[in-house]
């Protein structure tokens, strides 16, 4: 389950601009546009870049922390990628695209995501993006690769650049992954067909 204070966006290029506008309108409701024009532009640009990057990884969804935690702004995101037809010859390239670099691995091994077995990896790398001070930031990433059927994998990629609370955020990321549950079967569906899991 995605925690309160997060917002969900699809990576479909056709709807990115409208989604970002709705999100910013909702989060900045009651605030003068002139007062936050620069910040609004920067946030919109950052979200556009995150969505484009997620789409390049083959992801369908991006979830981002959009509300402060205890009054402190937090950077946190979750990219959801479905890698299907894992027996196909294109699978190695698809999983490599979803997982990205193997740089900076701190921990890896078997884990659990709800009722599903998973492989978990934690990395700490320097972000490609500079902060407002022009300095590159440290980024902590947690990946869960989850086998949801004989032919499909679900890849959950969490990331934060709020380095001072990266430890608690890793615990939060793992808790979100562990909350994964099969989606209820639609009425009239075949009872023998596994329902697709959901994280929203």
Model pLDDT for residues 61-90, shown as the tens digit of each residue: 899 988 777 767 788 999 988 888 777 777
196 or 115, which is more confident? 115
Q: How confident is the model at residue 191 (pLDDT cuts 50, 70, 90)?
A: very low
This prediction has a pTM of 0.76
pLDDT at 198: 60
> Could you tell me which residues come within 8 angstroms of residue 157 by beta carbon, excluding any fewer than 6 positions away?
57, 59, 78, 79, 80, 81, 98, 99, 100, 141, 142, 143
For residues 197 and 152, give the distance between their C-alpha atoms in angstroms, rounded to a whole number. 11
**Whole-Å CA distances, 27 to 22, 38, 132, 134, 199:** 9, 15, 21, 26, 22
Confidence of residue 43 (pLDDT cuts 50, 70, 90): confident
Alpha-carbon distances of 174 from 2, 62, 178, 179, rounded to whole Å? 12, 17, 6, 9
Q: Cβ distance 59 to 81 under 8 Å?
A: yes
Cα–Cα distance list, 86 to 90, 101, 138, 151, 188 (Å): 8, 20, 32, 5, 28
Specify the length of the chain in residues: 200
Domains, the chain, ordered by start: 6-11+58-183 (3.40.1000.10)
Backbone torsions φ then ψ of 172, nearest 5 degrees: -65, -45
Contacts 24+ apart (CB under 8 A), 31-37: none
pLDDT digits (tens, 9 = 90+) for 164-184: 889 999 999 999 999 998 877
Residue partners of 75: CB distance under 8 A and separation at least 6: 65, 160, 161, 162
Average pLDDT, the chain: 81
Reference 157, options 142, 179, 169, 170; nearest CA is 142
Q: Which contiguous run of DSSP H or E holds residue 143? A: strand 136-147
At 133 the pLDDT is 56
């Amino acid at each position: 389950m995605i925690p309160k204070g997060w917002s969900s966006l699809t990576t479909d290029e056709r709807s990115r601009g409208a989604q970002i506008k709705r999100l910013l309108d909702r989060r900045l409701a009651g605030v003068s546009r002139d007062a936050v024009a620069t910040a609004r532009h920067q946030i919109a640009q950052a979200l556009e870049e995150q969505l484009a990057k997620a789409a390049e990884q083959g992801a369908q969804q991006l979830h981002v922390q959009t509300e402060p935690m205890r009054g402190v702004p937090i950077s946190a995101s979750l990219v959801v990628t479905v890698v299907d037809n894992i027996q196909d010859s294109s699978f190695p390239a698809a999983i490599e695209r979803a997982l990205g670099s193997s740089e900076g691995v701190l921990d890896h091994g078997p884990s659990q995501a709800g009722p599903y077995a998973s492989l978990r990896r934690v990395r700490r790398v320097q972000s490609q993006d500079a902060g407002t001070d022009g300095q590159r930031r440290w980024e902590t990433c947690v990946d869960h690769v989850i086998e949801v059927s004989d032919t499909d994998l679900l890849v959950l990629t969490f990331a934060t650049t709020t380095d001072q609370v990266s430890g608690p955020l890793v615990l939060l990321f793992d808790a979100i992954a562990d909350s994964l549950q099969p989606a209820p079967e639609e009425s009239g569906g075949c009872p023998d067909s596994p329902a697709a899991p959901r994280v929203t």
